[in-house]
């Protein structure tokens, strides 16, 4: 039996709700074999991040090369990369191995509000990593922070920020509307020619830890299975919406609890 393989390059969440752990759960739930290259260890739970231990750049390189030299990786998801050196190691690995699909989730702030990215890493993210991505998936605050602007207040602002992100060299961007307001949570898939509006009912829950990580991983899983980008994004949005809707069935931690990655198996 042959199974599609996806690689996540991201930070570890010791509480299991976000980061590498969420990515691997998502890959498994979506029928994809998951491999990982860890960029940082976090001491973290549902209430916040209490420490970050960065993995040396040369060891990030070693993990990436170990995976690509043996496994037939169909798609890569990149999450938390806290330092410029880590980004440069990842960029060199992408140039060396040339994966077909690269989904970049610019994780800048944790659900708890803790900042996860240094300022010089943000510059490297924009200048070096975005041009090598197939898709980038910022939420509304992240898209604004990438330009030092206010959070987009309407669709025209969202589209304008999306176009600015495309100008950095990435062919497509998904701006996620989970931090917005109103009865619907609307994401915007933007490329050079189109803007696709993807709406789902907004779900009243505080258990949203790992939502962004899991969405980008679900998209990467779809791409690894050979789906086109729009289909992969639509199916990932449906998966995440169901995982959020089922989150309150879990009782994990005392803060922002995790989404229910395996809701389909309950």
Catalytic residues: 176, 208, 210-213
Q: Residue 96's CB: how many other CB atoms inside 10 A?
A: 11
Helices (H), the chain: 19-29, 57-68, 84-97, 119-124, 140-145, 155-166, 211-224, 229-245
3-state secondary structure (DSSP) of residue 184:
strand
**Cβ atoms of 258 and 22 closer than 8 Å:** yes
Residue in the block written with tokens 């260890």 = 41
Name the DSSP letter for residue 247: G
User: Is the Cα torsion angle 40, 114, 15, 225 positive or negative in sign?
Assistant: negative
* DSSP letters spanning 94-152: HHHH--SEEEE----B-TTS-B---HHHHHHIIIIIGGG-SEE--BHHHHHHTTT-PPP
Q: Residue 32's CB: how many other CB atoms inside 10 A?
A: 23
């Amino acid at each position: 039996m042959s199974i599609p393989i996806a690689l996540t390059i991201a930070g570890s969440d010791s509480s299991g709700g976000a980061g590498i752990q969420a990515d691997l759960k998502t890959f498994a739930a979506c029928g994809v074999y998951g491999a990982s290259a860890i960029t940082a260890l976090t001491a973290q739970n549902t209430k916040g991040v209490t420490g970050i231990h960065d993995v040396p750049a040369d060891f990030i390189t070693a993990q990436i090369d170990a995976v690509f030299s043996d496994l037939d990786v169909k798609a890569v998801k990149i999450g938390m990369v806290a330092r410029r050196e880590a980004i440069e190691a990842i960029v060199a690995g992408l140039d060396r191995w040339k994966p077909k699909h690269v989904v970049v989730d610019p994780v800048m702030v944790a659900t708890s509000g803790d900042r996860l990215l240094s300022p010089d890493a943000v510059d490297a993210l924009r200048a070096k990593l975005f041009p090598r991505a197939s898709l980038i998936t910022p939420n509304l605050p992240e898209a604004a922070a990438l330009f030092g602007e206010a959070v987009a207040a309407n669709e025209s602002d969202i589209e304008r920020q999306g176009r600015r992100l495309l100008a950095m060299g990435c062919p497509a961007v998904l701006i996620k509307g989970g931090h917005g307001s109103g009865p619907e949570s609307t994401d915007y898939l933007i490329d050079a020619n189109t803007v696709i509006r993807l709406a789902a009912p907004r779900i009243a829950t505080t258990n949203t830890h790992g939502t962004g990580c899991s969405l980008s991983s679900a998209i990467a899983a779809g791409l690894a299975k050979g789906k086109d980008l729009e289909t992969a994004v639509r199916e990932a949005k449906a998966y995440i919406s169901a995982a959020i809707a089922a989150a309150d069935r879990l009782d994990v931690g005392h803060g922002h609890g995790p989404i229910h990655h395996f809701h389909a198996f309950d």
